[in-house]
Amino acid sequence: MKIIDILQQDKVTLSFEVFPPKKESSFESVQNAARVIAALRPDFISITYGAAASGNSRFTMKLADSIHRDFGSEVLPHLTCVNSSHEFVKDMIQSYKELGIDNIMTLRGDLPEDGNVTGDYQHASDLIQDIKSQGDFCIGGACYPEGHVESKNKAEDIKYLKLKVDSGCDFLTTQMFFDNNIFYNFLYRIREAGIQVPVLAGIMPITNASQLGRSVQLSGSNVPERFRAIVDYFGSSPAAMKQAGIIYASEQIVDLIANGIKHIHVYTMNHPDVAAAIMSNLSAILNN
Ligand code: FAD
């Protein structure tokens, strides 16, 4: 089923994200985590794509196929295009078609260290046009409420986001954010710029203090004082930090839904317990 058809139903949607293992020997444990996450019945599960050099790119398809076929959840496998070729993408797309997977999350991927993009694609919009020409796929793309790190300013980023959507992107998922006002402001600006596709709000439950250093710094997301105080206070106590991080993310989601936001994507990162806690915190809200 196409994700755009799920998003167009008149209901709040909740989706989760998992990432593939780096080596075959870890596949089963990741698959088991995905099985438990799928049993929570999210609207779909996205599966990230490692940079080609990381060696785990082939596991994205294998994991997506298993979640789709064995666990019965709709899937959104990611595909990056930096340093990739038309031929490689054509093969991937053909394989997804054969597996009966209708959705692809299209990304450029992070630039190599020297900043030089080789291969057939410069931007995600090039990949979108290529995939659109090869079949009837539902296509997602990334967006950045605080601006992409390489962009000169937010206006320029939104100009290129419009180009991405006009290239055939059916919906957008945001980079993680911790301050909902940043998201509301972004939504207002992109709607004014004529971007009308559904936007999934990306929420990352921060469940240990070191995540603030790693993923959050990389994403460039602003960390509000309120959340910084939580990490300062509970960071050295793993169980308390986890609970506080889940509560913070749940509160963000409640506020989003109360303000009319219909689609929430949670970066659950192979943690079924985090996914289950979020689902449980929202059980009545999602059925409202
Ligand atoms: P693009 O849309 O190509 O944009 C990149 C930059 O180029 C932006 O600054 C944009 O403003 C600018 N730009 C776009 N088009 C043009 C143009 N025509 N001319 C000039 N400038 C332009 N990375 C992974 O490796 N694997 C993943 O699975 C993955 N999943 C992600 C999921 C989400 C929801 C998000 C938000 C990010 C994800 N990323 C992933 C990270 C992503 O690959 C990086 O943020 C990357 O740096 C940009 O990818 P993009 O698709 O947004 O690129």
Residue 52 has a pLDDT of 54
Give the separation between CA 142 and CA 202, rounded to whole angstroms. Answer: 10
**Alpha helices, DSSP H, located in 50-179:** 57-69, 86-99, 124-132, 154-166
Atom of ligand 1 nearest to the CA of 78: 28
Ligand 1 and 52: CB distance under 6 A? no
Ligand 1 and 40: CB distance under 6 A? no
Query: What tens digit of pLDDT does each residue of 25-46 get?
Result: 999 999 999 999 999 999 999 9
Query: What tens digit of pLDDT does each residue of 214-269 get?
Result: 778 888 889 999 999 999 999 999 999 999 999 999 999 999 999 999 999 999 99
**Which pair of tokens denotes residue 139?**
């296509």
Q: What does the chain come to in residues?
A: 288
Query: What tens digit of pLDDT does each residue of 176-211 get?
Result: 999 999 999 999 999 999 999 999 999 999 999 998
Q: Are residues 129 and 137 in contact, defined by beta-carbon separation less than 8 angstroms?
A: no
3-state class (DSSP) for residue 93: helix
3-state class (DSSP) for residue 145: coil
Q: Which of 17, 87, 146, 192 is catalytic?
A: 17
Ligand 1 and 242: CB distance under 6 A? no
3-state secondary structure 221-234: CCCCHHHHHHHHHH
- The pTM (predicted TM-score) of the whole model is 0.97
Catalytic status, residue 150: no
Strands (E), 25-125: 44-47, 75-80, 103-107
